[in-house]
Structure 1
Amino acid sequence: MSTFSFSFSGDDIEEDSPNPTAEIEERKHVAESGTLQRPSPSVSSAFPISGQPLLPPKLCSPTDLLATLPSKIAYSTLRIKLDDGSEVKIPRRELWDVRVQLMAEDEGSGEGMVGLGKDDVKTGVYEGGFKSWESSVDVVRVLASRPEHWAFGGKVLELGCGTALPTLAVLQWVLKIRDEGAEGKGLSLGLADYNSSVLQLVTLPNLMLSWAQVTRTEGWEEEGELEIDEDLIDAFLASLRNVNLTLSFFSGAWGPELVRLVGENMRSVSSQITIIGAETIYSPFALKSFAETLLGLMASMDGEKKTALVAAKKVYFGVGGSMEDFCEMVRAKGALVGQIREESDGVRRAVVEVKMTGS
């Protein structure tokens, strides 16, 4: 089984860090400024392993995911500086809190904690969803400057969502503008990650945290614990209904079956569709699979305005993925691609906009 580390800083902290204080400050800087250490080549590769089947796609019930929540979740807040000088504050569940939950559920054995160690990816097993990657911050900044992608209803689907920073930002913005009286058509938020455990342990808890930060401002702190009970869950669901917002969760490998599941389960009266992908093209295999799934979704989903925002490093050293290869592949299949953002400080990153011909 192939395991590897990208060797560049994410913004989550491992407990066995040799200098945790310095690492915390460095990784906060990564998230807020978009800069990071230059990566060193990795000796492993992100290719499928012979005899290691990929996880089949499936629809994950929000009710089932909510039923797995512990009685409280610990969180800290990530501040993202936007291009206009403002900032968005995104609370995220602490990874040590995830470890505590898993250890308790495994009765101290520590089994099932793949993805919470040093490996960024274990091909066919875990695809990096527990960590927040810097390109997702770039997407947040793009979405902040382009409210047409989320403010007027439609569908927003985040592929390879993990901690779901872009979707969390969209949720906060929608809750705020509709709380202020702005009307909007129904918004359908879709979140897809290879691992259902990521959806259960970080994606859904993070959605609840962002909701709580916006709706329960009295006494809210940037670091602390959110107590979870049936009343809170009921209030969360009622709030989503009140703003005409629905959530859909999907796990498993990219491919035609995932395309079918998304098309059958994400519905909206608006013709606007935005698909998000951040750090999803980190190897030739991942790049090809993501590109084919992305174009399949754009071709099959009902809607007149279909756009994808894809963010990634220009080159993934040691594993072979690159933004140039992605752009060439989707252009060859008839899509229109244009770069809309570039970050040159640290490892070079870009955000491109993908549209189908005629959309």
Structure 2
Amino acid sequence: MAFSFGFSGDDIDPDLTEPQPQLQAEPASQPPSSYSAFPVAGKPQLPATIHPLSSLLAQLPSKIAYDTLAIDLANDIIPNDSSSSYYPSNLSLPRRELWDVRVQLMAEDDDVLSGPSGEDRVDDGGLGKHDVKTGIYEGGFKSWESSIDLVRVLAAQDELTAAQQASSLRVIELGCGTALPSLALFTWIMHRQSLSQWPQTPCSLVLADYNPSVLRLVTMPNFLLAWALHNANDPILADAFGIEGELELSPAIVQAFENFLSSSGIHLSFISGAWSPEFISCLYELPAFSAESPAPRTLMIGAETIYSPFALQAFAQTVFALLDRERASDATAAAYVAAKRLYFGVGGSLDDFIGVARSKGATVTELREESEGVRRGVVHCVLQQ
């Protein structure tokens, strides 16, 4: 089942805003028993798979084209607050151009990017005309307005200052796509480091998307772009921005990016595949979840991840399985969820997620409400110790 949400202004990618027909998803005969966000009869879901950063970097082309998304945070940061200088009021986040992704695919002559099951078909999804194609492509090539709402909330809540009181920070972005919220956190950490106001608190950013192709072609390149733009005056990058909106890559630049992450105590991890018990097991195999990391602060973040009842159930099961596990290990853990109040025609809603969260014993705080256009909101969830 392929469909477009059909919302005006819903997708903030300028090259993908053509009017699309709104199709109604077929109703399911019964809810899935567990962790089945994207069920397709007779079709296995993509398995949970860890993708090492070095492997993704090795598949980069010689240059990548990008645009930047400007986010004005002036109304989200508390004036005169001691942390306000850590959050520049004008935030600019890079996003790789989708036409450049197409160029890379043509150069590789590889429209089928094979994950372990060989089923990750880019051409049937985000590079076509569908917002989502169930079981094939889950929307990761586009940037959605709720992800911007989540960036604003993370700035307003000043999560990075809270993280400095812990031994380490772990951020898990479920359904990351272009990863704007994680990119914002990454950019703010670099800004604090430039002000000597980030005391080398180890930070792990875990980027999870159903499609390996999204991680390879968009998510990871966006982090490399964010680092390069923040360090554009570094001599090693002096000639890398020869053409506006384009970054020339060399082995030295890629190595400098890896060196920066290592010296800054920042670790990037990438996981693809369906939300499942295997996904959670895969997550806890990462170095960031080593038992040797005492008293970490763990944030789970997700935007536009509950667009259908199936997705809502699987997302909620995953979030609360993680919160339960973190609580058992005495970690401080919370989840931020941004979504539309109602996904017309497909059945998911933020209110339904709030109901599920409270039924699991969570304390839910509604932090942001957008009433203009399509109604959206951001909520904060914690499980009490």
TM-score, normalised via structure 2 length: 0.82
Please, which of 327, 332, 337 is the counterpart of residue 305 of structure 1?
332
CA displacement at 1:304 relative to structure 2: 2.6
Structure 2 residue corresponding to 1:212, chosen from 211, 228, 232: 228
Which amino acid in the other structure matches residue 251 of structure 2?
Answer: E
Deviations 1:225-258 (A, max 9, x none): 1111110111001111121111111000012111
Q: Distance in 2 between the 1:45 and 1:212 partners?
A: 44
Counterpart position of 1:33: none
Deviations 1:6-49 (A, max 9, x none): 1123012447959xxxxxxxxxxxxxxxxxxxx98532348622
The answer for the alignment partner of 1:119 in structure 2 is 130
Q: Percent identity?
A: 50
For residue 188 of structure 1, the aligned residue among 201, 204, 218 is 204
Residue of structure 1 in register with 2:71 after alignment? 80
Q: Which runs of 5+ in 1 are unaligned?
A: 19-38
One-letter amino acid matched to 1:251: S
Do the aligned residues in 1 keep the contact of 2:339 with 2:377 (CA within 8 Å)?
Answer: yes
Q: How much does 1:53 deviate?
A: 1.4
Q: Distance in 2 between matches of 1:224 and 1:251?
A: 28
8 Å Cα contact 1:186-1:269 kept in structure 2:
no
Counterpart residue number, 1:322: 349
Alignment partner of 2:284: what SS? helix
- Amino acid in structure 2 at the alignment position of 1:282: Y
Q: 1:291 and 1:84, CA in 2 relative to 1: closer, same or farther beyond 3 A? A: closer
3-state SS of 2:381 partner:
strand
- Cross-structure match for 1:336: 363
Q: Cα gap change, 1:95/1:41 in structure 2, threshold over 3 Å: closer, same or farther?
A: closer
Letter aligned with residue 248 of structure 1 = S
1:200-349 correspondence to structure 2 within 5 Å: 200-217=216-233, 223-265=244-286, 266-267=288-289, 268-301=293-326, 302-349=329-376
- Report the equivalent of 1:35: none
Asked whether the equivalents of residues 295 and 332 of structure 2 are also in contact (C-alpha less than 8 Å), the reply is no
Q: Which amino acid aligns with 1:139?
A: L
> Which of these residues, 135, 138, 155, is aligned with residue 149 of structure 2?
138
Task: Decide which of 129, 136, 144 is 2:140's aligned counterpart.
Answer: 129
What's the Cα RMSD here?
Answer: 2.4
Q: Matches of 1:223 and 1:275 in 2, distance apart?
A: 35
Residue deviations 1:125-158, cap 9 Å, x none? 1100000010000010011122234752410110
CA contact 2:111–2:122 (8 Å) conserved in 1: no
Per-residue deviation at 1:84?
4.2
Q: Which residue of 1 aligns with 2:94?
A: 91
Counterpart Cα distance in 2 of 1:6 and 1:108: 25
SS at match of 2:257: helix
Cα distance in 2 for partners of 1:129, 1:303 equals 33
Number of paired residues? 337
> Are the structure 2 counterparts of residues 42 and 116 from structure 1 closer, same or farther at C-alpha, using a change threshold of 3 Å?
same
Distance 1:59 1:303 in 2: 25
